[in-house]
Amino acid sequence: MSQPQRYRLLDLQIDLARQRVSRDGVPLDVQGLSFQLLACLLRHSHAVVDFDSLITEVWSPAVVNEETVTQRVKLLRQSLGDDGRQPRYIRSVRGRGYQLCEPPQALDEPTRDAPAVPLHRSRLALIALVAFAILLGGTGWWLHRPPATGATPMSATQELLQRAAYYAGIGQSDNNERAITLYQQVLTAAPGNAAAQVGLSRAYSARVCLYNFPYEWSTSAQQLAESVLKARPRDAGAWSALAYAHDCRGEMQPAINAYQRAAALDPMDDASRASAAYLFQERGQLVEALHTNLDMRGDASKVRFRDVQIARELDLLGFTEAAEQRFRRSFQLNPDNVFSNIAWPQHLFLQGRFAEAQTALDQALTRHTPHVGLYMLAGELALLRGDRASAHAAFDKAVQLRPQMGLPTTLAMLYGDTPPSSSWLDERIANMTSQMTAGAGYPSDRLELAMLQLARGHRTEALTAITTAVQLGYNDRAYLQTSPLLRPLANEPAYAAAIDAIGRRTAEQRAQVLAASWRPDELRSSAP
């Protein structure tokens, strides 16, 4: 017998298939690992679930300790409005684990105060690292809803699609692979199923953007999305999937165009709207980026990377205190969120608070599956300490995680025991220049080109790369002033001029934000 999909726990209604928790019909913000923990407790009914079982069923294959479980229970209680001292929903059993305070009631049908709702689209984004300005990457998604099918009983195909979306939404590599298998099963029986093609496209892009697979998978993702659009040109989900594929390859303008098309066709698609906002941010259009991120049409909390994006935009605009409050809060409340784990230590790094950045980075490395951005930051911090060997080791770990990404490979070579040959540098410079001339990449990618030119002894060309990056919208003044990777250029007048150009552009955009009626609440007291 299959497990029930809907439960009542006192005044809570819990829908496992839709990953939804509500009270009196009002959705609660229970997502990611918090939802998986609650689902695990529900599976065990009223029994005590020991720490080993919780770790195996919720966190596997990641290796965590009992403290991680305790902290996640605390976050889940906060989302449910539960008090650990006088618990209503989840009680601690000293020395053993946790259990539900009351036996949950399985529901055969949705109740009136817990109406069935479609799965929210949300999307994992910012593989270009929300706060790590010089990494090439892309942005992403999560949970695509299949086309509505009415109130008829669920078919086998619909059930497969629903389970695939469920696995894709968990946000782990092994579950993404489970989703791919299910989507492929649907397409084996029904090759033209649009929902399966879109879901598979997204999962293929996630392989690239999130789980370190080769870039070729984003080409397959693009082909699937284009196949759907050929037959269904107004399919918003397919436009969003196409944008994601472009985004994973650093193709900014095609990605923006497709994200905006998706949001125009489906005004409730906040994930695509936020993805376009991130690309505006990377092009230096900070006012447009911030306004877009604040202009959500649905439940903005479902877009997990949005809060970090807003914090990053505030930081770039010079609203440092407001940005820090957001970064810190996100890091504290979302230990399973890769964006929060990277953004907070990166913010501290850019503020010159290197010891605090190292402490936060060490904590982040224990909380989440290792991410290339964390190792890149570790390498820069090691260089600031004068520890070249540790920097090389960190960059090499980044290469192992993402061998197809250019910057980690470049830095591992530049800071290795043996300097790269002139021919290797010339070939890499030529390849990057050719790709940029063809329109690929972000403005920040030109910082890598500058590093290569510096290693080749071409200071003038390195400065030209920096100047061009700023002209194209690169906007991280703090990074240019802080990073050890570009320090040899620090005394050059052209380098100072590039930093000043960012400052002038930022000041203009800051004034526009302060004068805008839509500015964030924390900036209201700063209005002119």
- Taking Cα atoms as reference points, which of 202, 343, 200, 334 lies closest to residue 271? 202
Q: Is 15 helix (H, G, I), strand (E, B) or coil?
A: strand
Res 528 pLDDT > 60: no
Do 453 and 487 sit in the same domain of this protein?
A: yes
Q: What is the DSSP string of 53-75?
A: HHIIIIITTS---HHHHHHHHHH
> Domain for residue 138, yes or no?
no
If you average pLDDT over every residue of the chain, what do you get? Answer: 84
Co-location of 325 and 342 in the same domain: no
Secondary element (H or E) of residue 294:
helix 286-294
Q: Domain total for the chain?
A: 3
Has residue 453 got a pLDDT over 70? yes
Q: What is the pLDDT of residue 276?
A: 92
pLDDT higher for 178 or 380?
380
Ramachandran angles phi, psi of 6, nearest 5° = -130, 140
Domain finish residue from 302, 332, 362: 332
Q: Is 118 within the bounds of a domain?
A: no
The tokens 């905006």 sit on which residue? 260
Evaluate whether residue 260 is within a structural domain: yes
- Tell me how far apart the alpha carbons of residues 341 and 330 are, in angstroms, rounded to a whole number: 8
Specify the range with the lowest mean pLDDT, choosing from 374-388, 433-447, 470-484: 433-447
Looking at the structure, tell me whether residues 237 and 291 fall in a common domain: yes
- Checking 520-528 for CB contacts under 8 A at 24+ apart, the result is 520/290, 520/294, 520/310, 520/314, 520/322, 522/319, 522/322, 522/325, 523/314, 523/319, 523/322, 526/319
Packing angle between helix 338-350 and helix 320-333, nearest 10 degrees?
Answer: 140
Strand-pairing partners, residue 481, are none
Question: Residue 154 carries which side chain, given as an amino acid letter?
Answer: M
Read off the pLDDT of residues 1-10 as tens digits, 9 standing for 90 and up.
456 778 888 8
* 254 lies in the same domain as 382: no
pLDDT confidence of residue 404: 67
In the listed set 332, 348, 375, which residue is the last one of a domain according to the structure?
Answer: 332
Whether 187 maps to a domain, the answer reads: yes
Mean pLDDT in residue range 37-60: 84
Other Cβ atoms less than 10 A from the Cβ of 159: the count is 13
Could you tell me if residue 525 is inside a domain? no
pLDDT value of residue 2: 52
pLDDT on residue 526: 54
**Does some domain include residue 62?**
yes
What pTM was estimated for this model as a whole? 0.66
Q: Among 54-63, 271-280, 484-493, whose mean pLDDT is lowest? A: 54-63
Percent of all residues in the chain with a pLDDT value above 70, rounded to a whole number: 88
| Arithmetic mean of pLDDT, 185-197 | 93
- Quote the pLDDT of residue 225: 96
Q: pLDDT tens, 126-163?
A: 333 333 332 333 333 333 344 444 444 568 888 889 88
Q: What is the pLDDT of residue 3?
A: 64
pLDDT band at 79 (very low <50, low <70, confident <90, very high): confident
Q: What is the pLDDT of residues 92-127, one digit of tens each?
A: 888 788 999 888 888 754 433 333 222 222 232 333
Q: Which residue has the higher pLDDT, 311 or 154?
A: 311
- What is the rounded average pLDDT of the residues 288-315? 88
Question: Helix (H, G, I), strand (E, B), or coil: what is residue 499?
Answer: helix
Locate 61 and state its tokens.
């294959």
Order of strands across the sheet that contains 26-27: 26-27, 20-23, 12-15, 6-9, 105-107
Residue 167 and residue 209 share a domain: yes
Is 39 found in the same domain as 166?
Answer: no
Q: Please give the share of the chain, as a percent, with pLDDT higher than 90.
A: 49
Asked if the structure places residue 123 within a domain, the reply is: no
Of the three residues 43, 72, 107, the one that is the final residue of a domain is 107
Q: Which domain holds residue 368?
A: 338-513
pLDDT > 80? residue 519: yes
Q: How far apart, in whole angstroms, are the C-alpha atoms of residue 334 and residue 330?
A: 6
> 490 is written with which tokens?
């620090």
Query: Based on the domain organization, do 311 and 168 belong to the same domain?
Result: yes
Q: Which of the two residues, 306 and 117, has the higher pLDDT score?
A: 306
At 79, which CATH number? Answer: 1.10.10.10
Asked, for residue 528, whether it belongs to a domain, the answer is: no
Q: Are residues 348 and 327 in the same domain?
A: no
Residues 287 and 355 in one domain: no
Q: Does residue 92 sit in the same domain as residue 33?
A: yes
Structure token digits, residue 448: 């890598």
308 and 284 together in one domain: yes
pLDDT, position 63? 61
CATH (domain of 369): 1.25.40
Report how far residue 272's alpha carbon sits from residue 260's, in angstroms, rounded to the nearest whole number.
Answer: 7
The secondary element (H helix, E strand) that includes residue 252 is helix 252-265
The tokens of 484 are what?
């050890």
Domain containing residue 206: CATH number: 1.25.40.10
Q: What is the mean pLDDT of residues 376-402?
A: 93
Residue 251 pLDDT > 50: yes
Return d(Cα 257, Cα 346) in angstroms, integer.
29
Judge if 84 and 178 occupy the same domain: no
Q: What is the pLDDT of residue 340?
A: 87
- pLDDT, position 499: 97
Note the pLDDT of residue 119.
Answer: 23
User: pLDDT at position 23, please?
Assistant: 84
